[in-house]
Amino acid sequence: MAKKYLTWFKNYQKIQSGNFEKGNIEWFIGGKLNACFNCVDRHLPKKANQIALIYEQEEPDQTEKITYQEMKEKVCQTANLLKSLGVKKGDPVAIYMPTCPAAIYTMLACTRIGAIHNVVFGGFSANALRERLIDCKTRIIFTSNHSIRKGRRIFLKKMVDEAIKDLDFIDHVVVHKLTESEEDFHEEKDKWYEESIAKESKECLIEEMDSESPLFMLYTSGSTGQPKGIIHTTGGYLVYAGMTFDYIFDYRENDIHCCVANIGWITGHTYTVYGPLLLGATTVLYEAVPIYPTVERYWQSIDKLKITSFYTSPTAIRLLMTFSDQNVIKYDLSSLRVIGSVGEPINPEAWLWYYKLVGRERCTLVDTYWQTETGGVVLTPLPGVTPLKPGSTTLPFFGISPVILDPSTGNVLTENNVTGLLAISSSWPSIARTIYSNHKQYLNVYFNQYKGFYLTGDSAFRDSDGYYWVLGRIDDVITVSGHRIGSMEIESALVSHSHCVEAAVVGIPHEIRGQAICAFCVLKDDPKKEEQKKDLDSLRISLSNQVATQISRIAFPDQIVFVNALPKTRSGKIMRRILRSILIGKTSQQDFGDTSTLLDPSVIDELIEQVKLQK
């Protein structure tokens, strides 16, 4: 497969080495290759004039098509710009841009010269961006003057300026002009992207990279407060990206693939950029939201562009289901062969709606389970092969050996009809190799808890046919609208507010977004004092804004409950499961499970009372 999907400058001598005990996984050892060459240059002899990127912007008439030849020229100019700014092999380069061609050119340009791209989701706040820049000490950042969401501009360049205030290790800010707008421009650091690349040559040499050279880093949330810089390496990641894209989306020549994920997430990396481009496909860069300007936006694009494979999230489906079926029925969706879902469990009702209304009971619906850390899909049906069951991610992809572990003993549950921790027992090419500058944390989070296994952080049920049903996270990670956010990240944003001394955040089921964020806050002053009551609503707004500023609007709490104390164990750990139970209306002692380790069991009554009062 490695030879089928990639062109190697030098053959690898060994396929795999290392193990989960040591966390020293390597694949295709000794091989040399280049990601950009594999995604761009090698297609040119046959496909120079084929469309590589279709840039679908918010307004339905804004579509731009870019050929492989045009892409190659822009990538080379960008790579030469990187070099002229002093970027070298192994240097990190931050990209804080919307999903647009210039962002793809920059990603590929980095890989051409062996630099490591670090795409930061454009919906993150200046503060969240700053944290990520500090962690990886990047000297250079690419941004856009703004992005556009539901017709409104979001001024990314302004956020960058705020993020890098007094960060003296940042030497350059390269600003891509999405559309005309007035920006503050700082001569010493800022450069316009379009003007700068225009001066550069359209040819640029390719660096030969080791199979195990880092390809990119991508920050993701975990159980701890700090996001983790997940590192993927070149050979293994690319083999797996190409192969999974080919099999799961049943790729055929001249297909038009559309993955609506933003490039700030792993789904955008693997199934908008690398998978499709490795196969020389046409990939749609989708910058539109599903309900702007109308709720027909997705179906209109499929009809207009004759999309053959379409990949979205359960949250988008659940949202679109709430509108009239006529919005879907009136479009010609006969070009579609495969429709996909990713990011969170898809409930059977949403699955059936998507399958019937969009797939017209004709397309395969691939419910794909994977993670930033897995690099590519690990559980999925294959079109034309796997009998489907609504709500199940079905079976493992080739080479993946999932197991279900008993959480208390760590034993592998070998039978069917079992529920437990979802883990994987041996390595596959695109497993993350480390956490940037914290290999110890990598070992602790994924491998040390149950020796010999990669722990996903999700629980799953395996049914009597051996099919997997992913149930959701068992750690303190919340998935809102398919976005992964750590409870502790939100908690630390809340306690940075001058009135909040302690906070606990949990996710509870939400009909459309999968989970809703609920925060319990302990205030400096007693919230029940009469004179304070009227101020509580404005305090809620101010706390929510604090979260939006520190992290992103996607982390905005849906509900904030003020309490006197949090349910903590004697060792100081917050028992979030008690908070979850109370929020979904549980009130009796049996509903809370074992509470013997609680420091003060009487807090439960107060919590129940406050949740009722403040609903």
479 binds ligand WTA (CB under 6 A): yes
Indicate the helix (H) or strand (E) that contains 304: helix 297-305
**In this chain, which stretch among 190-198, 304-312, 316-324, 453-461 interacts with ligand WTA, using CB under 6 A?**
453-461
CA distances from 600 to 121, 501, 552, 571, 596 (A): 41, 18, 34, 12, 10
Tell me the three state secondary structure of residue 169.
Answer: coil
458 binds ligand WTA (CB under 6 A): yes
Residues 377-416 binding ligand WTA (CB under 6 A) are 393
480 binds ligand WTA (CB under 6 A): no
Q: Of 145 and 479, which has the nearer Cβ to ligand WTA? A: 479
Closest approach of ligand WTA to the CB of residue 380, in Å: 8
Q: Of 82 and 218, which has the nearer Cβ to ligand WTA? A: 218
CA distances from 327 to 284, 298, 330, 331, 525 (A): 22, 10, 6, 8, 51
Q: Of 375 and 567, which has the nearer Cβ to ligand WTA? A: 375
Backbone angles phi, psi at 326, to 5 degrees: -55, -30
Task: Please tell me the count of residues contacting ligand WTA according to CB under 6 A.
Answer: 23
Q: Of 368 and 552, which has the nearer Cβ to ligand WTA? A: 368
**In this chain, which stretch among 175-183, 450-458, 547-555, 592-600 interacts with ligand WTA, using CB under 6 A?**
450-458
Pairing of strands 190-192, 364-367: unpaired
Long-range contacts (CB closer than 8 Å, 24 or more residues apart) made by 179-184 = 179/145, 179/146, 179/148, 181/145, 181/146, 181/153, 181/155, 183/145, 183/155, 183/157, 183/158, 184/157, 184/158
Q: Of 56 and 344, which has the nearer Cβ to ligand WTA? A: 344
Q: Please select the residue that binds ligand WTA; options are 367, 476, 489, 491, rule is CB under 6 A.
A: 367
SS (H, E, C) 322-347: CCCCHHHHCCCCCCCCEEEECCCCCC
Q: Which residue is nearest to ligand WTA (CB)?
A: 372
Pairing of strands 228-233, 434-435: antiparallel
Residue 514 pairs in a beta bridge with 510
29 Cβ neighbours under 8 A, 6+ residues apart: 12, 13, 14, 15, 16, 17, 211, 212
Closest approach of ligand WTA to the CB of residue 372, in Å: 3
Residues 524-583 binding ligand WTA (CB under 6 A) are none
Q: Of 301 and 368, which has the nearer Cβ to ligand WTA? A: 368
Q: Of 28 and 216, which has the nearer Cβ to ligand WTA? A: 216
Residue 258 pairs in a beta bridge with 284, 310
470 binds ligand WTA (CB under 6 A): yes
Closest approach of ligand WTA to the CB of residue 192, in Å: 32
Closest approach of ligand WTA to the CB of residue 314, in Å: 8
Q: Of 68 and 355, which has the nearer Cβ to ligand WTA? A: 355
Closest approach of ligand WTA to the CB of residue 342, in Å: 5
Q: Look at residues 436, 425, 444 and name the one whose alpha carbon lies nearest to residue 19.
A: 425
Closest approach of ligand WTA to the CB of residue 248, in Å: 12
Q: Of 211 and 244, which has the nearer Cβ to ligand WTA? A: 244
Two tokens at 412?
């592998």
Q: Please select the residue that binds ligand WTA; options are 343, 359, 381, 507, rule is CB under 6 A.
A: 343
**In this chain, which stretch among 119-127, 337-345, 399-407, 524-532 interacts with ligand WTA, using CB under 6 A?**
337-345
473 binds ligand WTA (CB under 6 A): yes
DSSP string, 226-294: S-EEEEEEHHHHHHHHHHHHHHHTT--TT-EEEE---TTSHHHIIIIIIHHHHTT-EEEEE---TTSS-
Closest approach of ligand WTA to the CB of residue 504, in Å: 20
Rg over alpha carbons for the chain, rounded to the nearest Å, is 24
Q: Please select the residue that binds ligand WTA; options are 142, 299, 370, 520, rule is CB under 6 A.
A: 370
Burial of 315 by CB count in 10 Å (0-12 exposed, 13-18 middle, 19+ buried)?
Answer: buried
Separation between Cα atoms, residue 492 and residue 490, nearest integer Å: 5
Closest approach of ligand WTA to the CB of residue 585, in Å: 24
Closest approach of ligand WTA to the CB of residue 469, in Å: 9
Location of structure tokens 């041996």: 426
Q: Of 301 and 479, which has the nearer Cβ to ligand WTA? A: 479
Q: Beta-carbon neighbour count of residue 152 at 10 Å? A: 10
Q: Beta-carbon neighbour count of residue 425 at 10 Å? A: 15
| Positive/negative CA dihedral, 284, 289, 290, 294 | negative
Indicate the helix (H) or strand (E) that contains 403: strand 402-405
12 binds ligand WTA (CB under 6 A): no
Q: Please select the residue that binds ligand WTA; options are 369, 397, 446, 468, rule is CB under 6 A.
A: 369
Closest approach of ligand WTA to the CB of residue 114, in Å: 25
CA distances from 548 to 24, 91, 124, 143 (A): 37, 30, 9, 20
Q: Of 267 and 610, which has the nearer Cβ to ligand WTA? A: 267
Q: Of 211 and 220, which has the nearer Cβ to ligand WTA? A: 220
**In this chain, which stretch among 15-23, 27-35, 40-48, 338-346 interacts with ligand WTA, using CB under 6 A?**
338-346
Q: Look at residues 371, 365, 359 and name the one whose alpha carbon lies nearest to residue 386.
A: 365
Residues 245-274 binding ligand WTA (CB under 6 A) are 265-267
Q: Of 106 and 220, which has the nearer Cβ to ligand WTA? A: 220
Closest approach of ligand WTA to the CB of residue 220, in Å: 5
Residue 286 pairs in a beta bridge with 56
Say how many CA atoms lie within 13 Å of 436 toward its Cβ: 27
Q: In the complex, which residues of this chain contact ligand WTA (CB under 6 A)?
A: 220, 265-267, 342-345, 367-372, 393, 456-458, 470, 472-473, 479, 484
